[in-house]
């Protein structure tokens, strides 16, 4: 059972220093670029500021800036999607300020999956400012590193220590400009996405267009589905499914784990013979369970989401499973990036791809993945990580791109939260659909009182005056 409590700490970072001296261990590390300085207190142990050689890591090894592989977006990424095509100029976009918040939001009920029983959502919010404009983005890594190797504490640390200092004070006119500044960090897609997503919302606001227009999407609303975790009884599950069907949701996802698997699906299909269902295994199985998945073929599921463990052989194993069953396999946890999805397509690992914007490193990567899949006739859909209304609204905007053809994992705020951190809350605009933004960027921002109450840690970065 995952009950999470932590003391609240705040880190105020005033950027005028070249390096931080760690008094406890005597080593040094860079906090940013030559135009920044830092005065930082962390648990009262480290302090502030010496002029230093450029960019040393904690072990004293030099880091030299280089372009690096552009693995998070297509090489022809236009920066502002449809807006650039519409003729907007790409004038200066200096990032004047960044605030990073680790926030813990209470759930309205216990969310049960094959990973854990979850009582709260830990998430990372980023506020980014350029001139008079500011915007909020969200990346929602799990608190426990079970969904992936990334987790909330690690993501907050990576953004605070290694990424945000290289972004603040810089002129970043495209998403790729930002990604290039942090390309020296390997992996850490949730951390990368935290900044890149905020950049996209900020850029859309600066140009006065909704985020989906900036991304190149179209539409007044997107279709969304209903999801149900592990329940205490089949009767409870059947009642929930009936309620979702009555509310007009076009499909339902069922969490699937050992002990809540084949018999559950058989009962659901016998009760609802014609409705669209799929199961989400959250990587709980191996190829030794192939007969279980063959048995699912008779139930005409839309897909089996991430059936196998996300290990070093994941894409190969999923390819072998897909050869041996008729039901489409959908990758989720194994689709870490555009490169991973390209490999999955080459291997035949899946027939459907779930795209979670933070898992793949941001919105540019999400856009590129859905376009690549379209070229190969593979449909995509937008997944969720129990984001607040801020992240949920951004997912809505992403889901307007043309190859997102299966209803998204985007939920009304009231489903997971008695009080959503983001305001206005996400609501259904029709039966099984959520409206896209009608304002520049997105409408959602955190409620100030709830943000103050639920913040675990906060780091603030300001460009040198």
Alpha carbon distances (Å) from 47 to 12, 18, 59, 461:
12, 12, 18, 16
Structure tokens at 100: 């990073």
Query: What is the enclosing helix (H) or strand (E) of 404?
Result: none
Bridge partners (DSSP) of residue 280 are 255, 305
Mark whether 218 is an active-site residue: no
Question: What DSSP state is assigned to residue 288?
Answer: G
End-to-end CA distance of the chain, in Å? 48
Alpha carbon distances (Å) from 164 to 103, 168, 178:
18, 6, 10
- Asked if 425 and 402 count as a contact pair (C-beta separation under 8 A), the reply is no
444 CB-near residues (< 8 Å, 6+ apart):
136, 388, 389, 390, 392, 393, 422, 423, 424
- Asked if 124 and 93 count as a contact pair (C-beta separation under 8 A), the reply is no
Catalytic residue among 218, 351, 356, 464: 356
Name the residue among 68, 45, 336, 91 with its Cα closest to residue 190: 336
Mark whether 356 is an active-site residue: yes
Catalytic residue among 18, 112, 253, 255: 255
Please give the Cα distance from 411 to 416 (Å, whole number). 8
Q: What are phi and psi of 47, to 5 degrees?
A: -140, 160
Name the one residue in this structure whose structure tokens are 């705020």.
413
Q: What's the sign of the alpha-carbon dihedral 393, 305, 414, 276?
A: positive
Please give the Cα distance from 72 to 200 (Å, whole number). 14
Please give the Cα distance from 206 to 96 (Å, whole number). 14
Question: What DSSP state is assigned to residue 160?
Answer: I
Residues known to be catalytic: 255, 356
């Amino acid at each position: 059972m995952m009950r999470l409590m932590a003391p609240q700490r705040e880190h105020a970072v005033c950027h005028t220093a070249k390096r931080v001296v760690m008094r406890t261990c005597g080593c040094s590390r860079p906090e940013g670029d030559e135009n920044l300085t830092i005065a930082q207190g962390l648990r009262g142990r480290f302090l502030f500021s010496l002029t230093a050689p450029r960019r040393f890591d904690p072990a004293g090894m030099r880091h030299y800036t280089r372009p690096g592989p552009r693995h998070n977006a297509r090489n022809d990424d236009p920066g502002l999607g449809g807006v650039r095509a519409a003729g907007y100029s790409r004038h200066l976009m200096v990032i004047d300020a960044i605030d990073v918040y680790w926030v813990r939001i209470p759930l309205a009920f216990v969310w049960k999956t094959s990973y854990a029983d979850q009582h709260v959502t830990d998430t990372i919010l980023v506020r980014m400012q350029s001139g008079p404009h500011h915007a909020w983005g969200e990346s929602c890594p799990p608190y426990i590193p079970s969904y992936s190797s990334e987790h909330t504490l690690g993501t907050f640390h990576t953004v605070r220590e290694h990424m945000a200092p290289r972004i603040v004070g810089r002129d970043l006119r495209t998403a790729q400009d930002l990604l290039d500044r942090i390309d020296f960090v390997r992996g850490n897609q949730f951390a990368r996405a935290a900044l890149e997503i905020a950049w996209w919302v900020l850029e859309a606001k600066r140009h006065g267009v909704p985020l989906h227009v900036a991304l190149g999407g179209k539409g007044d609303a997107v279709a969304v589905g209903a999801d149900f975790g592990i329940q205490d009884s089949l009767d409870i599950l059947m009642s929930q499914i009936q309620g979702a069907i009555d509310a007009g949701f076009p499909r339902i996802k069922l969490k699937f784990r050992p002990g809540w698997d084949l018999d559950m699906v058989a009962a659901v299909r016998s009760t609802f013979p014609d409705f669209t269902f799929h199961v989400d295994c959250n990587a709980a199985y191996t190829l030794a369970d192939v007969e279980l998945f063959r048995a699912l073929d008779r139930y005409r599921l839309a897909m089996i989401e991430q059936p196998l463990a996300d290990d070093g052989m994941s894409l190969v194993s999923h390819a072998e499973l897909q050869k041996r069953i008729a039901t489409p396999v959908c990758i989720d946890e194994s689709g870490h990036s555009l490169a991973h999805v390209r490999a999955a397509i080459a291997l035949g690992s899946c027939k459907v791809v779930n795209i979670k914007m933070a898992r793949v490193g941001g919105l540019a990567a999400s856009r590129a993945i859905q376009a690549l899949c379209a070229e190969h006739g593979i449909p995509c859909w937008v997944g969720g990580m129990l984001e607040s209304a801020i992240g949920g609204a951004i997912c809505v905007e992403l889901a307007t791109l043309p190859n997102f053809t299966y209803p998204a994992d985007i939920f009304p705020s009231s489903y997971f939260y008695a009080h959503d951190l983001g305001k206005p809350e996400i609501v259904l605009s029709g039966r099984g659909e959520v409206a896209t933004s009608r304002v520049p960027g997105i409408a959602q921002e955190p409620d100030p009182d709830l943000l103050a109450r639920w913040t675990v840690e906060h780091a603030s970065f300001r460009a040198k005056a």
